[in-house]
Amino acid sequence: MDRIEIVDEERKIARRVPAEPELPVWFAMSAPYSRETKASEALAGMGIEHYVPMRYEIIQKGAIKKKMLVPAIHNLIFVHAVKADIQAAKGKISYLQYRTMPSEGRNVPIVVPDKQMEDFMRVCGSTGASAKIFAPAELQIPAGARVRIIGGELNGVEGKFVRLGGRRNRSLVVEIPFVASAVLATISPDLIEVL
C-alpha cells in the first residue's frame, strides 16, 4: 500500500510514495501431528519455497530393516515467502501454524535471518559431515566462542564452538533460537576461525 509523505507543512503539499515491495523471509512454522511432509507437498504444489530438516533413520518392519529419510524434528517446517503468501497458503493448509515467541506482551511469528537459515540448511544437508539435529528441549547449549568454518564443503558457516555433555570432542552448533540446533560432531581444527 502506498504511503503519503508531507513535503511542505506550511503550504500543505504532500506526495504519494510507492510502498517498498515486501521481501520474502524465512518463517519457522509447525505442522502438528507429524504432518510436515504433507505440508511440504502442499507448499510445493503452490510453488512456495520451504525446507524440512531431514535425517536417515533405520526403521524395522518385522524382519526387514530399511534406511529411510524422515523429518529430523517432528512438526517443524521453514517457509520462505512474504507474509501475504503464507496467509493464503494457511487458508488452504488448515493445520499449518506459525511458531511464535513472546515479544512485548504478544506472540509474534519467529523469523529466521537468511544467513542463519542458509548455514542451518548447509549443515543439515552436508554429506561430508555427520550432522545431528535437535529440538531446543533436547540440547542445552552453554555460552561458547562464535566461530566460522573456513574451507571445505561448509565454508562460511558460522556457529558456536562448544563441548557438549557426554562427548569428548568439541562440536560446532548452528542454532536457530527457540526452534532447532544442528550439531556437527567433528571438525578439523585447521578449518575453524574464531570470530
pLDDT in tens, 125-143: 765 555 666 666 665 555 5
Of 99-108, 122-131, 179-188, the range with the highest mean pLDDT is: 99-108
Least confident piece of the model among 15-19, 25-29, 51-55, 60-64: 15-19
Residues with Cβ within 8 Å of 46's Cβ and at least 6 positions away in sequence, in order, are: 89, 92
Of 99-103, 139-143, 175-179, the range with the highest mean pLDDT is: 99-103
Q: For residue 38, name the pLDDT band (cuts at 50, 70, 90).
A: very high
Instruction: Report the percent of the chain where pLDDT is more than 90.
Output: 20
pLDDT computed for residue 30 by the predictor = 92
d(CA 35, CA 41): 10
d(CA 46, CA 92): 10
Residues with Cβ within 8 Å of 64's Cβ and at least 6 positions away in sequence, in order, are: none
**46-55 tens-digit pLDDT:** 999 999 988 8
d(CA 76, CA 154): 23
pLDDT computed for residue 105 by the predictor = 82
